[in-house]
Chain A
Amino acid sequence: MSKIAVIGGGIIGVATAYELAKLGEEVILLEKNYFGSGSTFRCATGIRAQFTDEANIRLMKHSVERWEKLEEELESDIVFRQTGYLFLATSEEEVEAFKANIKLQNKFGVPTRLIDMDEAKEIAPILNTEPFLAGAWNPKDGKANPFKTLFAYLFRAKGLGVDAREHTEVVGFEREGNAITTVKFRYNGRIERVRVDAVLNAANAWAPLINEMAGLKRNLVPITAYKHQLVKTEPLEPGQAEPLICPPSWNDAYIIQDGEDGGIICGAGIEHKARSLNDVEPTYDFLRGVLDYAVRIAPPLRYAHIVRQWAGFYAKTPDSNPAMGKLLDNFYIAAGFSGHGFMMAPAVAQAMAELISKGRSKVPLDWEWYDPYRFERGELRTSAFQIG
């Protein structure tokens, strides 16, 4: 049994701590704020395998299969619903691009198909079909409750002996050669030390700071925090807009009905570089911009009330693909999820835990594609399709 420190109490850190404990490892999980406070509790809840490259499609296919069994495994209602993702095309060129994406997704067993607007209207009665030519529809995509999912993992992790600590900030490491030997952290104003056999940096937007503490260049894995905001309406009748609905050519604007309370969550690619890693203040230009798109997608939303607006981070890498793998002999990273951490978590957590514990994983995760050293080598992957 090894002692492993997991840094970051978001969904990636918490789920990986659980998977490591399942493999019999001794785990300490460190979160500097409250659990989920970074990006997880600010996400739009969506889960999809409709990516446009092989690595992300295969990873998300596996992740959705894990999501399908997660309520049973964690013995908790996490409000996972396969209500689909519906992408909408506004031009013939886009329809052709959808067809190419669908072909690639079908090749790896993702059942996306092209649908006409009559079928789209049946799927989402609130939809304005007039501006759109066709839809890319995968009924197996879906959504879940990020709060309940994170705590379901956390309770099970604690049950397996994980020492989970919040309001506990990592402040430094001791390193011998290419290995981390000790993690130093501050809790209640006191500095404590713990000797470790391995460390996972799962701090997402904050990951470059942790890399720097480990003696690496802060920009070795370049992650920039962009504010991604969401606006939510009062509850509407369930069934109006259950899938995530997105015309990508409208600045990646999307709507999705909360699976629990029925409110409509509205997002768009109107992004601001965060002034600091504390800057999650919502902005009026976003509110105005996102609602302009939302009422064009679903005109009846004009008469709904907005009850809440909030912001979180897209912890973005230059190619919008996360960095996953080994940075030093016993120092690993899974960060820079660029808005996809929640949906990828069940697969990524399993893969990272197996990599750290056994040195290899049976998850179909293309380690070369997500190699954290690719940026230093000047290699970028095909930009991962962002949204939701």
Chain B
Amino acid sequence: MAGKKIVCRCNDVTVEEVEALIDSGITDIEELKRLLRIGMGPCQGRTCIPIVLGILARKTGKKQEDILLPKARVPTRPVRVEVIVGGADE
């Protein structure tokens, strides 16, 4: 991965991939999220979403605060299944 600038550490997404999709006309962050799997890994977008917002603002000329954040999903941190179904202490 030498020389590659990583945006999403969960799914190995690079700056180049984000820029290429925006250049192809996809500027909705919900769509970028689903095509690149940013914000869909165990970290839930803590690293990648702010970086992608910055790239999106720069490429589209919009203000960063005018771009809606993608929908956040529960749980905000990964939870072991046994915590939900019981039996974690067995």
Contact = CB atoms under 8 A, between A and B. Distances in A.
Interface of A: 34-37, 41, 147-148, 151, 155, 166-167, 233-234, 260-261, 282, 287-288, 291-292, 294-295, 301-310
Interface in B42-90: 42, 44, 73-75, 78-82, 84-85, 87
B78 A303 contact: no
Contacts of B78: 234, 305-307
Nearest to B43: A307
A304 B80 CA distance: 6
Contact of A309 (B41, B73, B85): B73
A291 B81 contact: yes
Q: Is the interface of A mostly helix, strand, loop or mixed?
A: mixed
A41 B35 CA distance: 11
Contact of B81 (A167, A294, A310): A294
Given A166-B28, A282-B74, A295-B85, A305 B34 contact: no
Interface centre among A148, A167, A261 (most CB of B within 10 A): A261
Interface of B: 11, 24, 26, 28, 30-31, 34-35, 37, 40-42, 44, 73-75, 78-82, 84-85, 87
Contacts of B87: 302
Contact of B73 (A35, A155, A261, A310): A310
A54 B75 CA distance: 41
B66 to A, nearest CB: 14
B81 A307 contact: no
A46 B35 CA distance: 18
Contact of B80 (A34, A282, A305, A308): A305
Contacts of A303: 80-82
A234 B85 contact: no
Given A282-B74, A307-B44, 18 more contacts: A34-B30, A35-B28, A35-B31, A151-B31, A151-B35, A167-B28, A282-B73, A294-B81, A301-B81, A302-B85, A302-B87, A303-B81, A305-B79, A305-B81, A306-B81, A306-B84, A307-B75, A309-B73
B73 A34 contact: no
10 contacts: A35-B28, A151-B35, A261-B11, A282-B74, A291-B85, A302-B81, A303-B82, A306-B78, A307-B42, A308-B75
Contacts of A307: 40-42, 44, 75, 78
Contacts of B75: 306-309
A292 B82 CA distance: 9
Contacts of B44: 307-308
Contacts of B11: 261
